[in-house]
A and B are shown apart, each in its own frame.
Chain A
Amino acid sequence: MIKLENVSKVYKGDVVALRNITCEIQKGEFVFLVGPSGSGKSTFMRLLNKEETPDSGVIYVAGKDIGRLSGWRVPFLRRNIGAIFQDFKLLDNRTVSQNVAFALEVIGRPRHVIQTQVPAILELVGLSKKADNYPEELSGGEQQRVSIARAFVNRPLILLADEPTGNLDPATSVGIMKLLDRINKTGTTVVMATHDRGIVDTMRKRVVELDHGTLARDQARGVYE
Chain B
Amino acid sequence: MNFRIGNLGRELSYSIRRSPSLFIGTLVTILISLTVLGGGLVVREAVNEATARWQDDVEFIVFMDPEASAPEINAISASLSSNPEIDRFQFVDKEAAFLEFQTLFSNSEQLADSLSVQDMPVSFRVVPVDPDAAIVETLADDYREQAGVLDVAAAVDTIRQIEGITGKINQVFTVVGLLLLLSALLLVYNTIRTTIFARRREVEVMRLVGASNWYIRAPFMTEGVLQGLLGGLITYPFLLWWNGFLSNLEEDGLALFASLQAPSGDMLWIWLLMTALGAVIGAIASTVALSRFLDV
Contact = CB atoms under 8 A, between A and B. Distances in A.
B212 interface: yes
Interface stretch (A1-9, A13-21, A104-112, A201-209): A104-112
Interface size class of A (residues with CB under 8 A): 20 to 34
Interface string A83-118: 100000101000000000011011111100000000
B201 A78 contact: no
A108 B209 contact: no
B212 A75 contact: yes
Nearest to B207: A78
Nearest to A106: B211
B79 interface: no
Contacts of A47: none
Given A108-B1, A110-B2, A91 B205 contact: yes
A151 B205 CA distance: 10
A107 B208 contact: no
Contacts of B3: 108
B206 interface: yes
B210 A107 contact: yes
Contacts of B130: none
A83 B208 contact: yes
Nearest to A49: B208
A107 B216 CA distance: 10
A150 B204 contact: no
A149 to B, nearest CB: 12
Interface residues of B, number: 19
Interface string A158-176: 0000000000000000000
B142 to A, nearest CB: 76
A79 B208 contact: no
A72 B209 contact: no
A102 B199 CA distance: 14
Contacts of A79: 209-210
A107 B201 contact: no
B209 A150 contact: yes
Given A105-B7, A108-B2, A110-B2, A78 B210 contact: yes
A102 to B, nearest CB: 7
B250 interface: no
B54 interface: no
Nearest to B202: A91
A63 interface: no
A109 B210 CA distance: 12
A91 B209 CA distance: 13
A89 B203 CA distance: 11
A72 B217 CA distance: 13
Contacts of A154: 209-210
A49 B210 CA distance: 10
A105 B215 CA distance: 10
A37 to B, nearest CB: 22
Interface in B124-143: none
B210 A71 contact: no
Contacts of B208: 49, 78, 83, 89
Interface in B1-34: 1-3, 7
B23 to A, nearest CB: 19
Contacts of B210: 75-80, 107, 154
Contacts of A108: 1-3, 215
Nearest to B212: A75
A172 B208 CA distance: 25
B206 A106 contact: yes
B90 interface: no
A89 B296 CA distance: 17
A89 B1 contact: no
B106 interface: no
B245 to A, nearest CB: 48
Interface of A: 49, 71-72, 75-80, 82-83, 89, 91, 102-103, 105-110, 150-151, 154
Interface of B: 1-3, 7, 201-202, 204-213, 215-216, 296
22 contacts: A49-B208, A71-B213, A72-B212, A75-B212, A75-B213, A76-B210, A77-B210, A89-B204, A89-B208, A91-B202, A102-B202, A102-B205, A103-B209, A105-B7, A106-B205, A106-B206, A106-B209, A106-B216, A107-B209, A107-B215, A109-B2, A150-B205
Given A103-B205, A107-B210, A108-B215, 7 more contacts: A71-B296, A72-B213, A75-B210, A83-B208, A89-B205, A106-B205, A108-B2
